[in-house]
């Protein structure tokens, strides 16, 4: 709070980058797309007749797709399918356009399809990544807490007390 020279710091799991595709690839979780760290377990793994490696992951976590299939070609993920407990497809993701000549491997094209069974509809999102800059020189990340700033109490606590 600039007027009182106070600072409030909070670590919110909803703001975590752990599930972001860039983080998953930079942290070396390309083979399972971070599913193991999200609480999934490997159920099966096999190569099909075309040389694709198919892995099926399952979880019992609430608010998560109970089953995720990950398909890899040359050990890079090219397709994922999210399924509900009945085996119905909730969503699909296609990953392509890998740049194998850069300092790290990352797909340049990601196409996501989310299905809405109730409305018999779907949403398609295509994301194109061009020339990602990983130099870490963005001045927006050079923020520092002002010297002498005092810790502030949780602003949500103040809000709850004001509503009472």
The pairing of beta strand 41-47 with beta strand 53-58: antiparallel
Residue 113 domain-assigned? yes
pLDDT in tens, 22-77: 889 888 889 999 999 999 999 999 999 999 999 999 999 988 999 999 999 999 99
Residue 164 domain-assigned? no
- Residue 69: domain span: 2-134
Tell me the longest C-alpha to C-alpha distance in the chain. 66
The phi and psi torsions of 124 (rounded to 5 degrees) equal -110, 130
- Say how many domains are in the chain: 1
Residue 153 domain-assigned? no
Residue 146 domain-assigned? no
Residue 127 domain-assigned? yes
Report which of 55, 60, 65, 66 is spatially closest to residue 33, judged by C-alpha positions: 55
Q: Global pTM?
A: 0.75
pLDDT in tens, 13-24: 666 777 788 889
Residue 147 domain-assigned? no
10: helix, strand or coil: coil
Residue 160 domain-assigned? no
Residue 8 domain-assigned? yes
Report which of 79, 134, 127, 74 is spatially closest to residue 102, judged by C-alpha positions: 134
């Amino acid at each position: 709070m600039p007027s009182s020279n106070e600072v409030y710091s909070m670590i919110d799991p909803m703001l975590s980058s752990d599930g972001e595709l860039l983080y998953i690839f930079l942290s070396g979780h390309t083979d399972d797309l971070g599913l193991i760290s999200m609480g999934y377990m490997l159920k099966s793994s096999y190569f099909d007749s075309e040389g694709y490696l198919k892995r099926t992951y399952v979880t019992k976590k609430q608010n998560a797709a109970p089953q995720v299939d990950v398909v890899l070609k040359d050990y890079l993920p090219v397709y994922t399918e999210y399924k509900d407990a009945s085996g119905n497809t909730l969503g699909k993701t296609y990953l392509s356009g890998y740049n194998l000549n850069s300092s790290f491997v990352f797909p340049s094209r990601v196409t996501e399809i989310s299905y809405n069974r109730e409305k018999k509809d779907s949403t398609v999102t295509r994301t194109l990544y061009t020339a990602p800059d990983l130099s870490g020189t963005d001045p927006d990340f050079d923020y520092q807490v002002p010297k002498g700033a005092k810790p502030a109490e949780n602003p949500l606590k103040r809000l709850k007390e004001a509503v009472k």
